[in-house]
Structure 1
Amino acid sequence: MKTVTLKIDDGIIEKFLWLLKHFKNEIKILDQSEYISDDEYLRSVDGMVESIQEARKEPDHHGVTLDKLDW
């Protein structure tokens, strides 16, 4: 099973939800919310701004170079 996040225009949301209801066994709506930008989302997470500000204060030599990251 896959999870997909969509940004749907307000003008078609009712028609889109109507369509999805025809796939009762195949599709389950997990969450519905208003779209917010990544920046807005990160700012909404408790302590995130403070964490980023603290991380910016760390010296570069404490960081990890790209070749050391395990992607």
Structure 2
Amino acid sequence: MSYADNANTLKVPGATTVDAAVRYDHDGWGISLNVNNVFDERYVAGCRGAETCGYGEGRTALLKTYLTF
């Protein structure tokens, strides 16, 4: 939890998000999948006053292939 004002009277609610990752390596190559905010929770990431707040990122995913040595 944080506050949106210097007087600590406007609370910004806490939030919990879930991230996940899976990776597979085989015969000199690999693949990985990373997902942030799996359940696509909408939440306030922070405020710079009572009128200026920003939301956190929605679900993002990154799929990568790579070579292993």
Query: TM-score by structure 2 length?
Result: 0.20
- Larger C-alpha radius of gyration, 1 or 2? 1
Structure number with higher relative contact order (C-alpha < 8 Å, ≥ 6 residues apart): 2
Q: Would you tell me which structure has more strand in proportion to its own residues?
A: 2
Q: Would you tell me which structure has more helix in proportion to its own residues?
A: 1
